[in-house]
Structure formats: structure tokens, C-alpha cells
Structure 1
């Protein structure tokens, strides 16, 4: 996270964190919608900073949901909020925690809420049985960093947000990370959009290790129209025309996008940025991107695979290597689920590894590729003298053994040669 989070929230080095940056001048007034971390809060003066803008609350309500409000004194640095401001005066402020629930266990810096165990060095005054709001940010390498844990009154319901996986529409269940969700009795906002990869906010009750949902809200890109949001770039495509922010928002970048404290070429996974965006033609478009770190953040791993697609019973692979497809995967050049099998494709995406060591390749873009091109570009791990199932006839992969590399190779349709990074 930014230096604010490092200094005032977490008394340890956070993986994937960068520098500070200004995020706008504190002397500059702000009118519009902001989505980001609280910083420099003064409860006595009723002021705080979001995305670098100094804002005045003047008694504006602090809303959560369903009529639940908190006092301004319960807002702390690091909490994520969505603010509508007029001339730097807050009109509405909505809390956006990653999860809300009861602390069921504490072991040193480790604590468990809603069956999810996390690490945070600032658990001062937090005890088992307390209700808390937890704010996290997903990092570019697939890990999650806790940036705020705040004790709150008994809310009466729990919340967990994150991407859907292992959706079973027949059993009305899915997972968020390792947490099982039963939505058989839930009101689902836009159920047609509920799919693997969709970002959801789930509210309900914990029953054992299962969250029994009463409500499931599916994130809609329209919600971010004309919004300035801060976060971590979790993926960038090779052509620098798309980024993914916070592991959830796909944002288009074009020649009209303005850049502050950096250039388009500086876009990279792991960078902390502030993005001003609008919703145009069913997509989020970045109108301005400001770099908020020094470029030293730990980056995630991106991959590029080229080859003949195998797609059967929902399973997608190239040369026997499985690649996940979800509702966030973008198909280009007329490709879709019906014609993907046997097509020659170029796939870009993210490599993730969970705490148990399980590896995942997640497709973000899939486009057609020329099967008979005599050159090929591949990015990924070289293991056993191969990359993405291809061997080199001239042994040019040998020097990259055990490394993650981005290679240009000659290609005869079966074997590689003259591979160089």
C-alpha cells in the first residue's frame, strides 16, 4: 500500500507496497466521487483525506447498508470508503469493507473472521467475540493484504466480498476463496451476471463454515462511472490498452488517457495508481492515471500462451496445460465458447498461487492467432526444457530452465528455435 498505510496502519513490511505520491494536491478542492483509503483522519476536526484530497465531513452520515450507520469516530485510517464530495465537503460517505463479522480466533498477529484467517500487526484492543470491519487489498501476485481492522457494534449480519469460484447453480452455492456460500435463500442482484469470476458482496449469517446468504450483490461497472479510484494494478495486457485494478475492474486505456508522474509505458502489475474513469460503450475507460509509487512494488506474474485451444465440458487448455476461463475473460476476433475448441489462439492472463501452493493460470484476453506464423511469443515458466508444452529443437530454452521468461522464438508449427528474451 501507500506509505500512509505503512506508517500509520501496519507495523511491518507489507508485500507489494510502494511509495506515497500526492494523489492530488491537498490544497485542491474536489467535487465528484472518490473511492479509496482513508488517511490523515482528524476526529476532532471532522476531516480526512481520500485519494490525496483533504475533505470536510461536517457531520455527514457514515453509512454502511440497510440503514446501518456508524459515528465518524469509528472511521479509521486505512478503511476503504466511497465518498461524494462537493467543493471538498462530504455529502455522502459509504463504508466499503472487505468483510464484516465476529472475530472467532486470535493467535499473535493472526486472526479469523467468518472462517477466513488473516494477518495484521495492528490488532490492538481487538478480542475474540468482537465485531469488526476488515479492509483488505488484493495484490498483484494474488495474495491479500489487510490494511485496517476496526471494532464496530454488533451489525447483526456478516459480509464477505470477492470473486466467485466453483459456482454450482443447481446446488445454489459458490466459493469466495476458501469460504463456501449457500445462496439458496438469497435475494440475488442481477442473477444473470452471477458467474465464476464475478465480484460479489455477500451478506448473511455464518452457520458453521458456511455463509448462508440473505443477499448477493453482483458488481456492475456502471457503479464506477465518473469515479476516481485508487488501488493496485493486477494485470496489464501486452499492448498497454487494458489494465485490471484491484483484481476486479477491467479498465481500457487509449491514446486520450492522460498520465501523471509517469507514462503509459510505466503501466505494470504491482503499481499503485489512482484512476479517473468513465463508463463508455459498455466498458470502463481511464481518462487519467496517476502513479502513486516509486515503481519498486513487487509485481505479479503475467503469462502469454499461443497454440491450439482444447475446450470441452468447460475446461480450456493449450498443449495439456489448463487455463481458467470465467465471466471476466474477454474474447476477441469473433471467438466464443462455442467456437473456441480447435481454434489457434493467443491467450494473455494472470498466474496465481494460493497459500496451499496450488497454481492457476487465469485467462483475461483470448484472441485468434495465425497458425502458420513462423514466429511465436510466449511468456511463462520454462520447466523440463519446455515452455507451454513446446520444446526447442536447438536447445535454446536450456539457459532459461527454472525461470519465468518472456520469449520470442522461431516456430515451425511443432518446435521452437532461436528463443531470446
Structure 2
């Protein structure tokens, strides 16, 4: 099905379809347990497999009016933004009658410090984590390209599903900032060895002391076999004991008749192969239809996706789909490019992409730059999406668009020209603004065939009316990229970021810290130039992650009405008279611009204290 330009713009933040990064399985569903009450209309629990709006286990949901929270502490979830939803994460959603998301909760399976490593995974907070080798259900990494990058002592956030042995099969592993996450521990799992006198129980090999914990719901009683979420701000002791500060019993609370979608690993399969548990929820598949298999293929640990109706405390399944081949892991991504370094290194909605071997249509490598709208198909591999095809969107629409390339067919009389690679007409007017790459003023007299430029403008009658022309040197513009750094080598003064090698030197300027503050897992924004395939940093800003009252969102502006009413990557944003603007003025806010916004979040609205233009 072809996607019209309205579809492209509606998914500017990105439309990623990674049809199988694994299920949310084995773990809790948490239906109605995250503070949203009973789900009266519909519920979905599973793994984020894409964006634009948000895709959960291959099903697209509109999240434009959703409230978002991150449940690390189950007693006090933190308000979040769309930037907090990442590929491979486990989420729980309450749906409106029209299947749009009313409320979304990010629910990691375990957070803690790695205590041991093996060839297949690691142990964290007494939980065994297994890295998936199934091409249909790859493990997504951030702050690392794979298991080999991790080390004992690293602090990680893991999303995934429990297999038949109780191990977590990871759908996402994110290395956390060691300076700000050292005493954050979260574990979700089944209560065993409960001792109500000593006030202890176990999850895996972890002993939980809940004597001083807040147990939720307040009227509930802990029992053997319950699924719970445990949180503490005290590190696990050397004896393997966690002093819990909060324990939430994950009891499903869904209204009869509500639509339910669950993704995960089959558990507790009945002898007749028609009943099992998925994401901690009982499933009755007696009348279900099966895709990519039959009822005989059901087995504990098998990845499936279920659709059905909530009836008397269980899901009566109408469909069970097996996740079993590489076709389930295909990636389709639509959105505006950010963090552009080269054809082999850029991002769409925070997902690193390598398009060096892709087939390009509608444009050429010279037409790639931040802000350019593309559609990508490929597969996730070793920390990046390896694109097999990349298609440029040049279809007219009502929003402001960005196009780079070399000028040809320029007619100074009419003001019309073309850019190499694009089959469309560009038109400059008396109001077009001209600048050089360094921000200095240029003029229409500098416009000539062969010049490399970047233009911004809006379509009118199929022609892109150019509001801004920026002249770009043949060597390319400087780059700006952001992410969790890894492979730090302080001696060589280098690290990796988004699968790109970054180096620094004595001339590099550091903000919010110094070179000694760099560590694997630290979030950084790098500004620099490309040399011999590496980024030589002129500035490294260390992003502090220890300020929970400060929200951050980064992406493309859409739904722009005014400076007090627009969205960034789907998040509603407003500015005030005290908002600080960097690398641009308030008047430069417009659909299609890429910005990073910091501010305070209240009732789903991000009030910006700082807006930085990224393009």
C-alpha cells in the first residue's frame, strides 16, 4: 500500500515497523496496575516494534493524545514524553474506544548492575538475562552494539520476556549512566520462597526484604506465585538481598468485553494445548485461528501474538500468530533524518541507520541531510538498522520541507531551479533568505549551477517555494549527534556513539563536565567534523540524567500552530517569554524543523525552558 504525503507527514517523528523484536511475554501485563484503573475499552501489552504513531508487536496505535509514564518505581511512575518510548521496550497501554492510546506505561523487566557475564547473556539483580539469537526476535541495544560491549559492573535496563526456565529473553538492553543509576534497582517476576514472618521472598536468585516496603494495592496480600514489580533505591547487598521500598502486585484489571492484544512467550501451556499464559495473563485459544502455524505448534517459550476479548478474568483468543522467521523482523521506517554523519550513519526517531548498501530511489546520496523525509526498509543488526532500500519523499504537502543537493538548471530570470537527484522544481522569491554554512549572510547572486545548497520551503501548486537557502561547502557541513557513548578509550581519546567513532583533543570544548566525566553509558551530544570516517569533536556536551523533574524530547516539529502550540516527535510543546533559544530564534519554529526541547512536563504538556535547533 502506498503511503500518501499526509501519511508521511503524520509519521514525521518516524514510522518504524520492526515486525518482531520479540514479545513482551512471560512478564506481567500490569493491566490497570500502573495507576490507570480498569481498562474498559481495550488493552495492549507487548514490545515496541516501531513508531509513527507507536507500533506494539506490529500493530500501529495512534498515541497523539496519550499520556505517558515510565514505571521504574511502581509506587510512583514518572511522567514521560514520546522520547521515552524506544525500540524494543516493553509497554502497557490502555486504549480508547477508537483504539487510540489513552495511557501508555513503559515497564522494564529489570534494572540493576551486571554481576556476571557469559557467552549468552549476563546476570543482573539475581536475574539471568539471555540475548536473543533468533533472527525473528533480535535484542535491541543502546549504549552498546552487543553483548561483547558490556562489562561486569555496568548498570543496565532490560526489557523482555521470561522463558520456561525463568530467564529473561531480552528485547532491549540499555546501558545506563553509571553516575546517576548506581542505586536504582527494579525487578519484575514471580514470588517464590515467601516468608510472611521474616517478610522476605525471592525472584530468581534475588532475595527481597519487603519489611519496610510499600505494598500495592494497599488492600492486597502477597502470596506465593504472584507476579510483582519490586523497586528500591538501595543497591543489592553482597549477600544478594534487596531491601525493597515498593512492591506492586500485578493483578490484571480489565472490563469484560474489552479488546486485548498481548505479545510474548508462551508459558504454563495446558495439556490440551489450548490454554496457556502470555504476559502473565491466562489465554483460552480453543476457538482461535492460527497464523504461521497450528495449535500443535504451541509450546512453552514459543513467541506468539494474541488478539482476543477479555472474559471472566482471561483472554478468549480470536487469533494466535507465531513469530517465527526473519520476515517478522523486517524494518520499515518513515521519518525525517537526524544525527546525519554520512549515508552509513544517521538516525530516524532515535534509531541508528546504515544505508550504505541500500537501493536509493527518488534521490541520491547527495540528497541526504538532517530534516530530509525518507522511507527505509531493512533489518536490525548489531545496533543499527541495515537498510536495503531508501526512498525519498518529494510529494507536495502543506508543511515546510528540507531538501539538499547541487543546483542545476538555474534560471535567474524566473527564479526556478532543480537539485540534482530530485525530480521537482524549486523557486526562489524576493523574500528568500540566503546564508552560508557558518551563519553569515549570503545573497541570491551566490546561487549558481553546481553550488551545493540546503533549502527549506513549502509546496505551492507542486513547486517548492524556497524560504531559506543555505550554501554548503563540498566537504559537507559540521555534524551533531547524540546518544549513549560506549567503547570509551581515554588513552586514545575516543569513544563510539551511534556506531560512529568520535575523537576529542585538547581543543575540544566540554559542557556540563570534562573529559574525566566521560564513561560508558553516559549520554552525550557531540558537535564536530568528519575526518577519515571519524567525527572529530569540537564540542562534547554531557547530558545530565539525574534531573527527573526535567523532561527532554528531540525530533521533528509537526502540527505547528504557533510558538505556544506545536509538537516535537508527537509530544505537545509550548514556549514562554523565558524560553531560551539556541542556534535559532523563536520565529524559526516551523513544521519540519528538528529541535531538542528541555522543560517541565505537566498534564501532558511540555513547557520549554530551552529549545535548540538541530538542523
Partner of 1:239: 272
Partner of 1:292: 322
Match of 1:69 among 79, 90, 93: 79
**Alpha-carbon separation, structure 1, partners of 2:214 and 2:197:** 16
Match of 1:172 among 181, 199, 213: 199
Q: Do the aligned partners of residues 130 and 62 (structure 1) sit closer, same or farther apart at CA in structure 2, a change above 3 Å counting? A: farther
**Alpha-carbon separation, structure 2, partners of 1:151 and 1:266:** 35
What is the TM-score of this pair, normalised by structure 1?
Answer: 0.53
Q: Secondary structure at the match of 1:4?
A: coil
Return 5+ residue gaps in structure 1 as ranges: 10-30, 297-421
State the Cα deviation string for residues 185-215 of structure 1 (Å, max 9, x = none).
1122357552222111112233412111122
**Alpha-carbon separation, structure 2, partners of 1:94 and 1:295:** 29
Is the CA contact 1:240–1:265 (under 8 Å) kept in the aligned structure 2?
yes
Alignment of 1:10-409 (within 5 A): 32-41=42-51, 46-58=52-64, 60-65=66-71, 66-86=76-96, 87=98, 89-102=100-113, 110-116=121-127, 118-120=129-131, 122=141, 124-125=143-144, 132-140=156-164, 142-151=166-175, 154=180, 157-189=184-216, 193-204=221-232, 205-208=234-237, 209-223=240-254, 226=258, 227-246=260-279, 248-254=280-286, 256-260=287-291, 262-281=293-312, 283-294=313-324
Q: Do the aligned partners of residues 101 and 268 (structure 1) sit closer, same or farther apart at CA in structure 2, a change above 3 Å counting? A: closer
**Alpha-carbon separation, structure 2, partners of 1:157 and 1:224:** 34
Is the CA contact 1:271–1:291 (under 8 Å) kept in the aligned structure 2?
no
Q: Secondary structure at the match of 2:268?
A: strand
Is the CA contact 2:127–2:167 (under 8 Å) kept in the aligned structure 1?
no
Q: Secondary structure at the match of 1:93?
A: strand
Is the CA contact 1:165–1:196 (under 8 Å) kept in the aligned structure 2?
yes
What is the TM-score of this pair, normalised by structure 2?
Answer: 0.38
Partner of 2:522: none
Q: Do the aligned partners of residues 5 and 240 (structure 1) sit closer, same or farther apart at CA in structure 2, a change above 3 Å counting? A: closer
- Which moved further from structure 2: 69-78 or 99-108? 99-108
**Alpha-carbon separation, structure 1, partners of 2:276 and 2:255:** 15
Which of 1 and 2 has higher RCO (CA within 8 Å, sep 6+)? 2
Is the CA contact 2:89–2:106 (under 8 Å) kept in the aligned structure 1?
yes
Q: Secondary structure at the match of 1:235?
A: coil
Figure out how many residues of one structure are paired with residues of the other and give that number.
265
Partner of 1:301: none
**Alpha-carbon separation, structure 1, partners of 2:122 and 2:229:** 21
**Alpha-carbon separation, structure 2, partners of 1:105 and 1:265:** 37
**Alpha-carbon separation, structure 1, partners of 2:89 and 2:124:** 17
**Alpha-carbon separation, structure 1, partners of 2:212 and 2:20:** 41
TM-aligned CA deviation for residue 139 of structure 1: 1.9
State the Cα deviation string for residues 240-296 of structure 1 (Å, max 9, x = none).
3421225x3333344x44545554444333332222344444x31323232223499
Is the CA contact 1:163–1:199 (under 8 Å) kept in the aligned structure 2?
yes
Q: Secondary structure at the match of 2:215?
A: strand
Q: Do the aligned partners of residues 110 and 233 (structure 1) sit closer, same or farther apart at CA in structure 2, a change above 3 Å counting? A: closer
Is the CA contact 1:98–1:134 (under 8 Å) kept in the aligned structure 2?
yes
Q: Do the aligned partners of residues 100 and 290 (structure 1) sit closer, same or farther apart at CA in structure 2, a change above 3 Å counting? A: same
TM-aligned CA deviation for residue 34 of structure 1: 1.2
Is the CA contact 2:20–2:57 (under 8 Å) kept in the aligned structure 1?
no
Q: Do the aligned partners of residues 57 and 39 (structure 1) sit closer, same or farther apart at CA in structure 2, a change above 3 Å counting? A: same
Higher CA-based Rg: 2
Partner of 2:540: none
Q: Secondary structure at the match of 2:83?
A: helix
Q: Secondary structure at the match of 2:108?
A: coil
TM-aligned CA deviation for residue 238 of structure 1: 2.3
Q: Do the aligned partners of residues 215 and 224 (structure 1) sit closer, same or farther apart at CA in structure 2, a change above 3 Å counting? A: farther
State the Cα deviation string for residues 111-133 of structure 1 (Å, max 9, x = none).
55335453547464477776542
TM-aligned CA deviation for residue 228 of structure 1: 1.2
Q: Do the aligned partners of residues 237 and 116 (structure 1) sit closer, same or farther apart at CA in structure 2, a change above 3 Å counting? A: closer
**Alpha-carbon separation, structure 1, partners of 2:60 and 2:199:** 44
TM-aligned CA deviation for residue 96 of structure 1: 1.3
**Alpha-carbon separation, structure 1, partners of 2:171 and 2:80:** 19
Return 5+ residue gaps in structure 2 as ranges: 1-17, 24-40, 132-138, 145-149, 327-615
Is the CA contact 1:40–1:49 (under 8 Å) kept in the aligned structure 2?
yes
TM-aligned CA deviation for residue 160 of structure 1: 0.4
**Alpha-carbon separation, structure 1, partners of 2:142 and 2:43:** 31
Is the CA contact 1:35–1:83 (under 8 Å) kept in the aligned structure 2?
yes
TM-aligned CA deviation for residue 61 of structure 1: 4.2
